[in-house]
Amino acid sequence: MRVTHRFASRSYSTLNLAKASSKSVFPNERYFKPEIVTGEVPGPKSKELLQNLNNVQDLRTTHFVSDYSKSSGNYIADADGNIYLDTFMQISSIPLGYNHPALIEAAKSEEWVTTAINRPAVGINPSSDYYKLLMDSYMRVAPKGLTQVQPLSTGSEAIENAFKAAFMWYQQNQRGGPTQPFSKEDLDSCMANSAPGSPQLSILSFSTCFHGRSMAALSVTRSKALHKVDIPAFDWPVAPFPHLKYPLDQYEKENRATEDACLAEVEKIIKSCTKPGRYGPVAAVVVEPVQAEGGDRHASPYFFQSLRRITKEQGVIFIVDEVQTGGGGTGKFWAHEHWDLQDSPDIVCFSKKLQAAGFFYKKELTPNMGYRIFNTWLGDPLRALQLRTIIDVIEKDDLLKNVNETGRVLFDGLRQLEKTYGHKGLIKNVRGKGCFGAFDCKDPATRDALIMELRRRGVEAGGSGESTIRLRPALVFTSKHAEIFLNILNECMSKL
């Protein structure tokens, strides 16, 4: 359902909430709007609990302490009884909102209980129903062309192991194929961390990207110095990510030139790394479909198609990091489906909205022997069960359609707010796909003030990059919720 907004006036009441779709895709959502009952947020209970928590765990990053038993659908409750409309959803990681009845029901089953209390070391003793579970969960959403999955535990772990798969594939090819044995020199030298057993190979990533905080993932991360400072890093190359002008459809010509310059640099780096020099040969290129932590930076399908072409021509693995974009937030299950690729990526990493992490990959990337990509758990079958139910609900309730419908209302409203409040530096460069959206403020202080003002009025929102606000609602966020959010944003902007 299409809802029209009128933001010309600063008055909150100009928006007609009654016109918003009354359709709810979250059954019996407990709240109809946010409600803040404490004078300030976080409230006193939240503060006290946080003080205790910080005595034993460093949780200085906390927004507020939550009460998940009282949270429902798109609304998160805090320890003081405040109810917030959640547009951030645990850093983009909750697909169906809080306490979805289908998940509650599934969790009561004997299958869930057995799986929860008997967590297997999957690489050693997978259960007799594990194959069926893999097929009913991960493999149901496997990106086109990727026939293999490696479940793991976090986004960073997915990235780390995707790099290992790319390195092993590269070296295997150097040796003449998977059946060729390791040489004695390879086996001896790797024990001293030196070549040829520990080869000088590299991963090419992009400026302002984020791929996680474990060691190799952090080496390719380029979004914030604070993430990286003090940590030894692999000396790997970086290419410029196109910083485009928005709206993309109005700046196609300029943006194409920017993208072409970045692509030329990618090709140059890959070619120069085959010669002796600072970096070893590039085994893989890793890229996010939308640079999320780095400030919601978009590039065009042409850019990604060209990256796929270049990596293929140069014999380099193409890794698409869908940790934040995967799972439906962009209106397609995988954001890279928006690119219309002739040939799929070689590896797709996932986590967050799937509630289970890991990577999908092409069969030829399977290592030559077992134990080469391995750890105690190799994921968690409980998370696969959860994913199975999540996919059931996404399909049954047609949630991707809902994301696209809601997205139209959301962006329509944001663009109107941009017209009204752009001159105040509160909102510019509105951008996004589905409900995976963002806008910039004029500076970091203004962004932070707007996030705080939203929270005071009962909206949980997240920042990214220098001065960006990112929207990462659940797939059950409807046009009704979008209207409530837009109205509160309108109030905040008229006040600031």
Q: Is 376 a catalytic residue?
A: yes
Nearer Cβ to ligand PLP, position 311 or 464? 464
Pick one of 63, 211, 338, 447: the residue that binds ligand PLP (CB under 6 A): 211
Q: Which of residues 144-183 bind ligand PLP (CB under 6 A)?
A: 154-156, 159
Q: CB of 385: closest distance to ligand PLP in angstroms?
A: 19
Q: Which of residues 30-69 bind ligand PLP (CB under 6 A)?
A: none
- What are the backbone dihedrals phi and psi of residue 297, each rounded to the nearest 5 degrees, phi first? -95, 125
In terms of DSSP bridges, do strands 83-86 and 75-78 run parallel, antiparallel, or are they unpaired? antiparallel
Nearer Cβ to ligand PLP, position 50 or 162? 162
Q: CB of 284: closest distance to ligand PLP in angstroms?
A: 14
Contact between 212 and ligand PLP (CB under 6 A)? yes
Pick one of 323, 387, 410, 451: the residue that binds ligand PLP (CB under 6 A): 323
3-state secondary structure 434-460: CCEEEEECCCHHHHHHHHHHHHHCCEE
DSSP, res 398: T
Q: C-alpha distances in angstroms, 92 versus 120, 151, 293, 296, 470?
A: 28, 19, 11, 13, 10
Nearer Cβ to ligand PLP, position 91 or 139? 91
Instruction: Say which residues have a Cβ less than 8 Å from residue 226's Cβ, sequence separation at least 6.
Output: none
Give me the catalytic one of 78, 80, 321, 380: 321
Query: Looking at this protein, which amino acid is placed at residue 309?
Result: R
Place of tokens 């059950």: 476
Q: CB of 483: closest distance to ligand PLP in angstroms?
A: 28
Q: C-alpha distances in angstroms, 391 versus 88, 103, 139, 150?
A: 21, 11, 11, 18
**CB-based closest residue to ligand PLP:** 155
Binding mask 80-99 for ligand PLP (x = CB under 6 A): -----------x--------
Pick one of 137, 324, 366, 487: the residue that binds ligand PLP (CB under 6 A): 324
Q: Which of residues 215-254 bind ligand PLP (CB under 6 A)?
A: none
Q: Tell me if 127 sits within 8 A of 120, measured CB to CB.
A: yes
Contact between 293 and ligand PLP (CB under 6 A)? yes
Pick one of 26, 163, 210, 318: the residue that binds ligand PLP (CB under 6 A): 210
Distance from CA of residue 52 to its chain's centroid?
A: 30
Nearer Cβ to ligand PLP, position 158 or 451? 158
Q: Is 132 a catalytic residue?
A: no
Give me the catalytic one of 332, 352, 353, 362: 352
Helix, strand or coil for residue 401? helix
d(CA 165, CA 149): 12
E strand or H helix at 479, and its extent?
A: helix 479-495
Length of the chain: 496
Nearer Cβ to ligand PLP, position 352 or 457? 352
Give me the catalytic one of 376, 401, 419, 495: 376
Pick one of 80, 86, 160, 321: the residue that binds ligand PLP (CB under 6 A): 321
Q: Is 412 a catalytic residue?
A: no
Binding mask 336-375 for ligand PLP (x = CB under 6 A): ---------------x------------------------
Give me the catalytic one of 167, 210, 303, 318: 210
Taking Cα atoms as reference points, which of 112, 49, 100 lies closest to residue 74? 100
Nearer Cβ to ligand PLP, position 156 or 172? 156
Contact between 288 and ligand PLP (CB under 6 A)? yes
Q: Is 419 a catalytic residue?
A: no
Q: Tell me if 460 sits within 8 A of 448, measured CB to CB.
A: no
- What are the backbone dihedrals phi and psi of residue 47, each rounded to the nearest 5 degrees, phi first? -65, -45
Nearer Cβ to ligand PLP, position 59 or 445? 59
H helix intervals, 367-478: 381-396, 399-421, 444-456
Q: C-alpha distances in angstroms, 118 versus 109, 358, 378?
A: 14, 21, 14
Nearer Cβ to ligand PLP, position 71 or 156? 156
Q: Tell me if 273 sits within 8 A of 202, measured CB to CB.
A: yes
Q: Tell me if 241 sits within 8 A of 262, measured CB to CB.
A: yes
Q: Which stretch binds ligand PLP (CB under 6 A): 51-59, 121-129, 319-327, 480-488?
A: 319-327
Q: Which stretch binds ligand PLP (CB under 6 A): 129-137, 183-191, 257-265, 321-329?
A: 321-329
Q: Which residues are catalytic?
A: 210, 321, 352, 376
- Give the residues lining the site for ligand PLP (CB under 6 A): 91, 154-156, 159, 210-212, 288, 292-293, 321, 323-324, 351
